[in-house]
Amino acid sequence: MMTQRKWIPAVINMLEKCGMRSVDIERRLQERFRHAPSARSITAALNGDSRFMQIGEAHNCSLFKQKSHKVKVWGLRGTKYSEADPYERQ
| Parent domain of 65 | 8-76
What are the φ/ψ torsions at residue 2 (nearest 5 degrees)?
A: -80, 140
In the sheet with 52-60, reading across from the earlier edge strand, the strands are 20-21, 69-76, 52-60
* Predicted confidence (pLDDT) per residue in 11-56, tens digit: 999 999 999 999 999 999 999 998 899 999 999 999 999 999 999 8
Whether residue 86 lies inside any domain: the answer is: no
Whether residue 28 lies inside any domain: the answer is: yes
* pLDDT attached to residue 62: 63
State mean pLDDT over 50-77: 81
Between 31 and 67, name the one with better pLDDT.
31
Whether residue 12 lies inside any domain: the answer is: yes
Q: Is the pLDDT of residue 60 over 80?
A: no
How would DSSP label each residue in 36-56? PPPHHHHHHHHHT-TTEEEEE
Whether residue 1 lies inside any domain: the answer is: no
SS3 82: coil
* pLDDT attached to residue 3: 60
Question: What is the band of 1 on the pLDDT scale with cuts at 50, 70, 90?
Answer: very low
Q: How many domains does the chain have?
A: 1
Whether residue 87 lies inside any domain: the answer is: no
Please give the helix or strand (H or E) that residue 29 lies within, else none. Answer: helix 22-32
CB atoms within 10 A of CB 39: 18
Whether residue 17 lies inside any domain: the answer is: yes
